[in-house]
Amino acid sequence: MDEKVSQLIELALMEDIGPGDVTSQYFVPEEREGQAFLVARSEGVVSGTEIGAEVFHRVDPKCKVRVLRSDGLKVAPGVQILEVSGKARSLLTAERVAINFVQRLSGVATRTALFVEAVKGTGVTIMDTRKTTPGWRLLEKEAVVAGGGCNHRMGLYDRAMVKDNHLLVKGAVEDLRNSIHSMKKELPNVAVELEADTLDQVKGFLGIAEVDYVLLDNMDNNTMRKAVAMRGERRRPILEASGGVSLETVRGIAETGVDCISVGELTHSAGALDLALEFVPFSEGE
């Protein structure tokens, strides 16, 4: 497991358990065994099962966890996602943190799946952005993939994305070509993306051979169609649409002919999938 994710799990457990789970300690017999199922209460797409399982194992390595619905699968209300068994105290202590991870990540996957379905048949790829919960980026981006989307850059290190602010800081747009060439010489595997607000910028950027992506920022659909036409039959650079994207608008944007659409909403506004941990009733005499 990724070290940062491991640390995130530890932090989540520390903030919830603190010096100890007083309810389980005083109200649940130490020797009592339990069995429970993580169950969906609403329709959606599952993500985060590995993290949920790990939470139970961190609380008690003797807990047994079985994944019944793996990441990326759709679930309906009542469908069981995880089966857990072990000391009842351990299961109850891990319950909330495990649910928190799985419900949040499943919410991201579910929201992504809605956007993917909305553009079905257009050939357009739905991508995420860096608008993620601090510390959760890797998990949320994995959830986007579980929902059928693709990842944009992971951070500032794996794609150069030149926006208006960068051009203003540099102060000379004409130096752009030289800057790209210098970066590509030293970092040949790092993609370059340029943000365009106007068709004039698109025209200029299309003339730079080393540009990998052109971001069509907050353009209306008619303007994006013109940008696609300007590129012609070439498949490079890749044209990405961004800004003003919602479930209501995404289909129209996709039909302009762009290659991909980045949607911040996938991560910054996704709700949680409604989940619950349902325990099997204890037998008489336990």
What is the helix (H) or strand (E) element at residue 54, kind and residue range? helix 49-59
Q: How confident is the model at residue 245 (pLDDT cuts 50, 70, 90)?
A: very high
Q: How confident is the model at residue 171 (pLDDT cuts 50, 70, 90)?
A: very low
Give yes or no for residue 273 having a pLDDT over 60.
Answer: yes
Report how far residue 211's alpha carbon sits from residue 248's, in angstroms, rounded to the nearest whole number.
31
**Which residue in 41, 74, 130, 131 is the catalytic one?**
131
Give yes or no for residue 182 having a pLDDT over 70.
Answer: yes
Q: How many residues does the chain have?
A: 286
- Residues 6 or more apart whose CB falls under 8 angstroms from that of 11 comprise none
- The torsion angles phi and psi of 208, rounded to 5 degrees, stand at -105, 110
What is the helix (H) or strand (E) element at residue 109, kind and residue range? helix 88-118
Q: What is the mean pLDDT of residues 48-52?
A: 98
Q: Which residue has the tokens 């069995």?
A: 35
Residue 1's pLDDT is what? 84
Give yes or no for residue 124 having a pLDDT over 90.
Answer: yes
**Which residue in 74, 130, 163, 177 is the catalytic one?**
163
**Which residue in 54, 142, 195, 265 is the catalytic one?**
195
> Would you state the CATH architecture of domain 120-268?
Alpha-Beta Barrel (3.20)
| Residue 131 appears among annotated catalytic residues | yes
Ordered strands of the 191-196 beta sheet:
125-127, 260-262, 238-242, 213-217, 191-196, 159-162
Give yes or no on whether 3-115+271-279 and 120-268 have one common fold: no
**Exposure string over 54-83, b if 16+ CB within 10 A, otherwise e:** bbbbbbeeebebeebbebbbebeeebebbe
Q: What is the mean pLDDT of residues 17-33?
A: 96
Among 87-101, 219-233, 272-286, name the one with the lowest average pLDDT.
272-286
The distance from CA 229 to its chain's CA centroid, rounded to whole angstroms, is 31
Q: How confident is the model at residue 174 (pLDDT cuts 50, 70, 90)?
A: low
The distance from CA 230 to its chain's CA centroid, rounded to whole angstroms, is 32
Residue 281's pLDDT is what? 86
In the numeric block, which tokens belong to residue 63? 């807990």
pLDDT tens digits, one per residue of 143-167: 999 999 999 999 999 999 998 665 6
Identify the CATH number of the domain defined by range 3-115+271-279: 3.90.1170.20
Question: Which pTM value belongs to this model?
Answer: 0.93
| Residue 163 appears among annotated catalytic residues | yes
Among 18-22, 65-69, 202-206, 216-220, name the one with the lowest average pLDDT.
202-206
**Which residue in 41, 96, 177, 251 is the catalytic one?**
96
Residue 113's pLDDT is what? 98
- Number of helices (H), then strands (E), belonging to the chain: the values are 11, 12
Q: How far apart are the first and last CA of the chain?
A: 37
More confident residue, 28 or 281: 28
Alpha carbon distances (Å) from 225 to 162, 190, 201, 215, 238: 22, 28, 15, 13, 14
Residue 92's pLDDT is what? 97
**Which residue in 212, 217, 274, 278 is the catalytic one?**
217
Residue 165's pLDDT is what? 60
Residue 283's pLDDT is what? 54
Report how far residue 282's alpha carbon sits from residue 252's, in angstroms, rounded to the nearest whole number.
54
Count CB neighbours of 262 within 10 A: 21
Alpha carbon distances (Å) from 234 to 31, 140, 212, 230, 259: 68, 33, 12, 10, 12
| Residue 153 appears among annotated catalytic residues | no
- Where do the domains of the chain lie? 3-115+271-279, 120-268
pLDDT tens digits, one per residue of 62-74: 999 999 999 999 9
Residue 234's pLDDT is what? 82
